[in-house]
A and B are shown apart, each in its own frame.
Chain A
Amino acid sequence: MASKHLEEAVYVYEAPVRLWHWVNAGSIFTLAVTGYLIGSPPPSVGGEASASFVFGWIRYLHFAAAYLLAVGLLLRIYWAFVGNHHARQIFLPPVWRGSFWRELVHEIKWYAMIARQPLKYSGHNPLATLVMHVMFVWGIVFMIFTGFALYGEGTGMGSWQHNLFSSWIIPLFGQSQDVHTWHHLGLWWFACFVIIHVYAAVREDIMSRQSIMSSMFSGWRTFRDGGSSDAVD
């Protein structure tokens, strides 16, 4: 391997994308913890009912974080239209391109330790793009829709949450309890996603010799030796 040290850098993640990432990280963490507690409440508290609001607060945090997440997604979709081409990547994986699938196979080989060198990308590699698209984008849309459907049951018939979400999602799944179950499974879907996401980011940072973690703070992707395959555009 060459011993020369080249640091090439590409500006990938614009400020709104970075902000979105960390708001998501915070709200998904909050949603996961409070969501789990809504399914399995903490031990009962004593005293007068009027003196405490434990479960009320847990639910309040869940709903507040959920609104943040939903509004964030809307702004992020807006940014996908006006931002740089990296801002569109996880929403539109180029599945119609043969090269996408060939490079995906290479990436799988790299993870299976068959390929000796990874291809370098300024944005996401094809495997990452696909995982982000399927697990994250579709996962978050699923959670926002089922979540608002359940929330709309509380705000009641006639509320916009009920009209837009509950009125058709609840019958679609069968009944309210089924939506609860699917929404709960979604929590674990995201637990799995976070494990994969964090592990892959740490590993790529070390093994692919390019910045991953710090890029989500600075926006710049640096390559410790040589440029990326698509760094030109």
Chain B
Amino acid sequence: MTETFYDVMRRQGITRRSFLKFCSLTAASLGLGPAFAPKIAHAMETKPRIPVLWLHGLECTCCSESFIRSAHPLAKDVILSMISLDYDDTIMAAAGHQAEAIIDETIEKYDGNYILACEGNPPLNQEGMSCIIAGKPYLDQLHKAANHCKAIISWGSCASWGCVQAARPNPTRATPIHKVPGLAPKPIIKVPGCPPIAEVMTAVITYILTFERFPELDRQGRPKMFYSQRIHDKCYRRPHFDAGQFVESFDDEGARKGYCLYKVGCKGPTTYNACSTVRWNGGLSFPIQSGHPCFGCSEDGFWDKGSFYDRLTDVHGFGIEADADRIGATAATVVGGAAIAHAAVSAVKRARQKGGES
């Protein structure tokens, strides 16, 4: 039998005390009651580690970079021991044919029982030639791994929505995992963000291995515990928003006083993520706290919503790009002008008719 999580942790010199601490911290970060800490501990002591294949398509590796910086659940070496990370080309020791052989081995050994973690997405144009892994299109690798997996985790905005490589005009037709045609119909959990928050990533994995199922998902397949509220709903600058105190430009008095960044384009009110509660780098800060508006990296198609510094999104399809106010004001002016012109002509006609009658 494969080692349990606890075995691996102990082997790596983690004391039982830190192990239990980890369990209670994880229970807390998942929003579970104190009673769940022993359950997590029990699961980790008894359950074999879940094998994970972590595949990389078109991506920038920011998800991996974020993941290895998770502060609680524990340090990075323990996190990497929690799961049996069989394949992750960025951080694995093996390379070349040796590395690729591991995929086949895992598929054979744990057929239908491993988790497929997708970082990045496959390009569909030119038969997937824009992303080649070990001489073959990533698309092939993805199909093969998905056919035999238990469930799929879509890490980050690339796998969840498409992100920058799928931004207009999307020349390679980069496609998020759940939209890949012909992909085996496996349950998919989306963990969007560019990158997702480290603690969110590790918490999702911990939940899956503790309860052997996905956490509760919203309609779009995101775990509700981290993506059910907007940045705006828990933003510590929210009182300035309600008061009507805004940063007008980046170096003004309001910016120094930490006013709301709504007017410089903050996408907090339209972005579902946990940044304003979990924060980044071990809870140190998050974009708004450092004085920059949120630009909505965990939302679908955030690259195509106009400037990062504008609340009004550009509307395409009018020949030129224009925002709602420009389109609307133009339409209202045209309609108003037409009404005035029509009124003038009507008046002339009426006057002429009256003249004819008398």
Q: Which positions in A face B, CB cutoff 8 Å?
A: 1, 39-46, 49-56, 58-59, 111, 113, 153-154, 156-157, 167-168, 171, 174-178, 180-181, 184-185, 187-189, 191-192, 195-196, 199, 203, 206-207
- Rounded to whole Å, the gap between the CB of B50 and the closest CB of chain A is 28
Residues A203 and B241 in contact in the complex (CB < 8 Å), given A153-B230, A154-B233, A176-B271: no
A-B contact pairs, 29 of them (CB 8 A): A39-B312, A41-B246, A41-B263, A43-B248, A44-B244, A44-B247, A44-B259, A44-B263, A45-B244, A50-B239, A51-B243, A53-B242, A56-B243, A56-B244, A58-B244, A153-B230, A167-B218, A168-B219, A176-B230, A176-B271, A176-B272, A177-B270, A180-B270, A184-B312, A184-B324, A185-B315, A188-B325, A188-B328, A195-B339
Interface-facing stretch out of B9-17, B39-47, B279-287, B297-305: B297-305
Q: Which 5 A-B residue pairs are closest in the complex by CB-CB distance?
A: A188-B328, A54-B244, A176-B270, A184-B324, A56-B242
Other 7 A-B pairs with CB < 8 A, given A178-B313, A188-B329: A41-B263, A42-B244, A49-B240, A56-B242, A167-B218, A191-B331, A203-B346
Give A42's nearest chain B residue, CB to CB.
B244
B357 CB within 8 Å of chain A: yes
Contact of B246 among A44, A58, A171, A206 (CB under 8 A): A44
Selected contact of A52 from candidates B244, B267, B335, CB within 8 Å = B244
Contact among B243, B331, B357 for A49, CB-based, below 8 A: B243
Q: Main secondary structure on chain A at its contact with chain B?
A: helix
Binding site for A on B (CB under 8 A): 218-220, 224, 228-230, 233, 239-248, 254, 259, 262-263, 267, 269-272, 296, 299-302, 305, 311-313, 315, 324-325, 327-329, 331-332, 335-336, 339, 342-343, 345-346, 349-350, 357
Establish whether residues A187 and B328, one from each chain, have CB atoms under 8 Å apart when the complex forms.
Answer: yes
- A156:B228 contact, CB within 8 angstroms: yes
Q: Chain B: which residue is nearest A196 at the CB level?
A: B335
Contact check, B244 vs A157: say whether CB atoms are below 8 A apart.
no
